[in-house]
Amino acid sequence: MAIKKKTVFNILLIVLVLSFFVTPLGYHSKILLNRLFAGTPDVIPENDRVTIADYEWTLKDEQWDFFSFERSKGKVVFINFWASWRLPSAAELKSIQKLYDRFKGQVDFYIITDEEREPVKEFMEENDLYFPVTYLIIGEKSPLQVMEPPATYILDKQGNIVVKRDGIGDWDSTKIVGLINKLLE
């Protein structure tokens, strides 16, 4: 009994679909699809920008030491809320790493998670990410709405919210790089 071409094709299609959901190939494919469909975040028009009330916010650094967000007053600030277990977060972190590489030392980066240190450290090593991680203190007062990851803010030197993105974004785009260069002037 010979197998028809259509049957072989259907079997291969089913195997491909299953591999998309249950293998590492599927995970990496979903990351790639998220990156492809990540749009460039919109800049808030100057007349619609809101200024944060204060810089009173306590966070933890990579060594688990407390510090105050006050140190970023008067600076351009990039804040991203992420989680290693959220696929869209994982997809956008490569573009954040590129943006960090381009502007480290000029922009204050807060790539914030509420996870424990060990899973974050493993995730960072597996994905070749080395930007500084900031840890959120649950229940701590924040000058910004702490949104579900992935979510991002860009603040200008006066504390105005210039970008507010709820969801994945392409952070190393020409538009965002140009915006940050303008904010740094």
Which structural domains are found in the chain, ordered by start? 5-34 (no CATH), 40-184 (3.40.30.10)
Of 25-34, 39-48, 73-82, 138-147, the range with the lowest mean pLDDT is 25-34
Beta bridge partners of 134: 112
| Mean pLDDT calculated for residue range 152-176 | 93
Q: CA 173, 82, 161: angle at the middle one, nearest 5?
A: 60
Q: Residue 139: pLDDT above 90?
A: no
Task: Return the pLDDT at 72.
Answer: 96
Give the mean model confidence (pLDDT) for residues 154-173. 93
What's the CA gap between 48 and 59, in Å, rounded? 28
Nearest of 184, 69, 41 to residue 136 by alpha carbon: 69
Q: In what order do the strands lie in the sheet with 161-166?
A: 66-68, 58-60, 133-135, 108-113, 77-81, 151-155, 161-166
Amino acid 34: pLDDT: 56
Q: What is the pLDDT of residues 72-88, one digit of tens each?
A: 999 999 999 999 887 66
Of the pLDDT bands very low, low, confident and very high (cuts 50, 70, 90), residue 8 is confident
The mean predicted confidence, pLDDT, of the chain is: 87
Percent of the chain topping pLDDT 90: 55
pTM above 0.75, yes or no: yes
Is the pLDDT at 25 greater than 60? The verdict is: no
Biggest distance spanned by C-alpha atoms of the chain: 77
